[in-house]
A = this chain, B = another copy of it.
Amino acid sequence: MDELFAYLLQFGSLNQRQLDLIASKATPLALGKDAYFLEAGHVARRVGFLLEGVLRICYYDNKGDEITRNFIDEHHLTTNLRGLEDGLASSEYVQAVTECRLLVFAKRDWDELAHTMVGWSEMVHKMTAKHLMEKLARISPMMAQDATTRYREFLNNYPRLANRIPLSYLASFLGVTQSSLSRIRKNIR
């Protein structure tokens, strides 16, 4: 729980009573490898804070290929990207890449904290914005680089992730085929 508090306190100040209130809404959840936290076609009814493990966000393109759009590592929030406009079904899956432990909030509870705690809603938007900015800052430069450079960048950005992620997921995230990524790895050694 402390990890969650530390995360939240980056975005505003909360007193002990508020922290307790937040804690009272959180439920621990363990996910096995490959289990889904959210599924495409459903409206996200919960918000998760990842304590341990790796999640990925993926979808299927129009050729039916599975594309990994993003990885989520420890001590970050995850929910439907469309979390701001409520009630929209996600087009993406959130899936456990490894065994995961999370703290989960019912979306209803999560949103209702805004009624009780002044500034909660703003904090949530700050978190979202910061999170998105980081993602964007990482993805944007990738477009203009070749596959080897993209892989190197990934190693820099997520040093603790590379060896926990199957090659195929990483390849689709980087926008190369699995075989190409395998060759890239070889050349780098």
Contacts and interface: CB of A to CB of B under 8 A. Distances in A.
Interface of A: 61, 65, 67, 69-70, 81-82, 84, 121-122, 125-126, 128-130, 132-133, 135-137, 139-145, 172-175
Most central of A69, A129, A136, A141 by chain B CB within 10 Å = A129
Most central of A65, A69, A84, A136 by chain B CB within 10 Å = A136
B84 A130 contact: yes
User: Taking chain A's interface residues, is the majority helix, strand, or loop, or is none over half, making it mixed?
Assistant: helix
Contact of A141 (B61, B137, B174): B61
Q: How many copies does the complex hold?
A: 2
27 contacts: A61-B144, A65-B144, A67-B141, A67-B144, A69-B140, A70-B140, A81-B133, A81-B137, A82-B133, A84-B126, A84-B129, A84-B130, A84-B133, A122-B122, A125-B128, A129-B132, A132-B132, A132-B133, A132-B136, A136-B136, A139-B140, A139-B143, A142-B143, A143-B174, A143-B175, A144-B172, A144-B175
Contact of A125 (B67, B122, B136, B174): B122
A175 B143 CA distance: 5
